[in-house]
Amino acid sequence: MSTAERQAKIRIVLVNTSHPGNIGGAARAMKNMGLAELYLVEPREYPAPRAVWRAAGARDVLANAKIVGSVDEAIKDCGLVIGTSARERRIPWPLINPRECGDKIWKEAKSHQVALLFGREDRGLTNSELQKCHYHVHIPSNPDYSSLNLATAVQVLSYEIRMASLTRKNGKLPEMNEWDQPLATADELELFHDHLASTMADLKFYDPDNPKQLLTRMRRLFNRTRMDKMEVSMLRGLLSAAQRKQGK
């Protein structure tokens, strides 16, 4: 199954949203992370210009949003339902963190429809709505200011789904180490450090007879950056210009 086919099985369900701007913000968050299936359960004000304005480049997500009359209608064909919850419940429910949520949703979307429920801005999902969920997910925000904007919560959990989709079979994310120049080789770095030492000596910044730890610390500094060939060339050009000023 392709990534796009699996993404199409993941629906974001907003329940009884009161502010249309949050609907638009949620649509934008979804599209940022490759999701497009938006379900709106009895939105209090929709359609609305504020939703379109907040959606920015995700107006297609809004245009295709499905408006339904109940949570049951939104989730009826789903094999996995997860509800967002910020409160402890009298009866404990299986609780997962955002990373586990993203992983479960991505894995199960391979075989069936999946729904992620977000409640009302002022009071979240009701107990009866949460009881329709297989799991509850809690975003561990700052306890001194724990209230998350609805669109922000959608962004956080959509991001975790995105990260799960990018994870390789060995459980690791692909490395983002593309670079526009090849890295400098060991011999090129040795020539650079020799050039640096001689230039510092010419400038009387470094005393070869009393080196202390200066050259070692300089090596450590430049080794941390893992310079590429062009960077080494630029720095050596700078060193040569400094030597010319000294008449060397």
Residues 6+ apart with CB under 8 A from 16: 41, 42, 43, 44, 119, 120
Q: What is the pLDDT of residue 112?
A: 97
What pLDDT is recorded for position 136? 96
User: What confidence tens digit (pLDDT) does each residue in 214-226 have?
Assistant: 999 999 999 998 9
| Bond preceding residue 182 cis, omega within 30 of 0 | no
Q: What are the residue boundaries of the structural domains of the chain, listed by start?
A: 3-166, 186-245
d(CA 143, CA 80): 29
| Triad 126, 119, 131: Cα angle to 5° | 40
Question: Strand order in 113-118's β-sheet?
Answer: 66-68, 37-41, 10-15, 113-118, 78-84, 135-137, 95-96
Residues of the chain with pLDDT under 70: 87-89, 169, 248
Question: Residue 84 burial (CB < 10 Å; 0-12/13-18/19+)?
Answer: buried
Structure token digits, residue 94: 């299986």
> For domain 186-245, which architecture applies?
Orthogonal Bundle (1.10)
The predicted structure's pLDDT at residue 92: 83
* DSSP assigned state of 34: T
Dihedral of CA atoms 2, 15, 158, 111 in degrees, nearest 10, equals -30
Question: What is the pLDDT at residue 88?
Answer: 66
Distances (CA, A) of 240 to 129, 183, 194: 71, 21, 12
> Is 3.30.460.80 the CATH number for 3-166?
no
Q: What is the DSSP string of 112-179?
A: SEEEEEE-BTTTBS-HHHHTT-SEEE-----TTS-PPPHHHHHHHHHHHHHHHHH--TTS-PPP----
Tokens of 141: 């925000």
pLDDT tens profile 52-72: 999 999 999 999 999 999 999
Place of tokens 């050009």: 237
pLDDT in the model for residue 248: 66
